Amino acid sequence: MRRIVAAMSGGVDSSVAAAMLAEEARDTGVEVIGVWMRTHADLGEGYELKRSCCSPDALDDARRVAQLLDIPFFVLNLEREFGLHVIDAFADAYLAGATPNPCQACNQYIKFDELLRRGLAAYGADAVATGHYARLEHDGGRWRLLRAADANKDQTYFLWVLSQEQLSHTRFPLGELTKPEVRDRAEALALPTARKPESQEICFVPLGDYRTLLEERRGYAGEPGAIVDADGMRVGTHSGYAHYTVGQRHGLGVALGEAVYVREVRPERNEVVIGSRDEVAASTFVADARSFIAGQPPAERFDASVRIRHRAPDVACEVTLIGHDRFAVETAEPVWAPAPGQAAVLYDGNECLGGGRIARA
């Protein structure tokens, strides 16, 4: 290997990942190239996301870290691609009554596609390293994706969609570390990003207000419609179906004496269906757009554990393949609100097998 691209967001994780590679480079001679991806335009003054990886502050931080590590640093302009594959897809998911998964889309189409492909060509590198918490093992001629040593930080939930080809050009330097260890390393190296707070919000949605984005991006202003219960009885009025996601509790304006949650969003009828806690849980669901890390599924029917949202607990399940790109999941115990559009990620112990996108019932 001659060169490796370190994707740098300006956050502490990718800063430390780049620093670890730069340290290694002293022995291996592999040149490290820092790259910051511009994924969307600045949102303008007073609209700036302090913690977003795309703010001018983040660019300054990433550049400063690259200077301290004494590595070349470039800005890769991926605004068009991010707009198409991440932001538009995010809006379209809501319009289809689903819950978008932008971090996965960013990994799938931006970091491990555009950055990988263009970065490798432009910089003559052989691999891309990111600050994800995940581990890779090369074993028996194939790459295995394993959960991070820090179970709290594990990000395989957003990485299940990667292919063997992508993984063969990928490095996750932080996989064996815990978050506190990463912060300690950042402190020890006196990186300016050492004490940066965790980014939580979606980087391109100012203040979590995705309704404005739906309007600006897709002209969706929201038309009031019916909130109905399981029997189809109208129990309230919503501001537009795309403003609701499965599992949502707040903002329904419905008082039925017990806590109610969004159970289903029906774009065709501009309807939001609610239910009790028990009604929103499910033991069976179907996922489409399936993908397996190994390139093919382990079997037509197999036991695994499934995770249906980031940081949700894993639940034991049986997986049955359906057709060419779907699978059915039957869980040992009900899972809370499987939301169409979110990933159902399958594991065998610590190994991420792959997954699919939860489909509408």
Q: Which residues of the chain form contacts with other proteins (CB under 8 A)?
A: 3, 33, 38, 41, 72, 74-77, 79, 117-118, 120-124
Strand-by-strand arrangement of the 31-38 sheet:
73-77, 31-38, 3-7, 127-129, 170-171
Q: Which of 53, 54, 103, 203 is catalytic?
A: 203
Comparing CB distances to other proteins, the nearer of 45 and 278 is 45
For residue 128, the minimal CB distance to other proteins (Å) is: 13
C-alpha span between 32 and 187 (Å, rounded): 21
C-alpha span between 152 and 198 (Å, rounded): 13
Is the Cβ–Cβ distance between 335 and 135 less than 8 Å?
Answer: no
C-alpha span between 217 and 89 (Å, rounded): 10
For residue 119, the minimal CB distance to other proteins (Å) is: 9
For 351, the enclosing helix (H) or strand (E) is strand 351-358
For residue 27, the minimal CB distance to other proteins (Å) is: 20
Q: Which of 53, 54, 106, 352 is catalytic?
A: 106
149: nearest Cα among 181, 191, 195: 181
193: nearest Cα among 284, 307, 70, 62: 62
203 in catalytic set: yes
Comparing CB distances to other proteins, the nearer of 217 and 326 is 217
For residue 133, the minimal CB distance to other proteins (Å) is: 28
For residue 31, the minimal CB distance to other proteins (Å) is: 8
Q: Which pairs from 193-196 meet CB under 8 Å and 24+ separation?
A: 193/10, 193/11, 193/12, 193/15, 193/61, 193/65, 194/12, 195/12, 196/10, 196/11, 196/12, 196/51, 196/61
Letter for the amino acid at 334? P
Comparing CB distances to other proteins, the nearer of 76 and 287 is 76
For residue 167, the minimal CB distance to other proteins (Å) is: 18
What does the DSSP 8-state code read for residue 30? P
Comparing CB distances to other proteins, the nearer of 67 and 77 is 77
54 in catalytic set: no
Comparing CB distances to other proteins, the nearer of 79 and 318 is 79
Q: Which residues participate in catalysis according to the annotation?
A: 106, 203
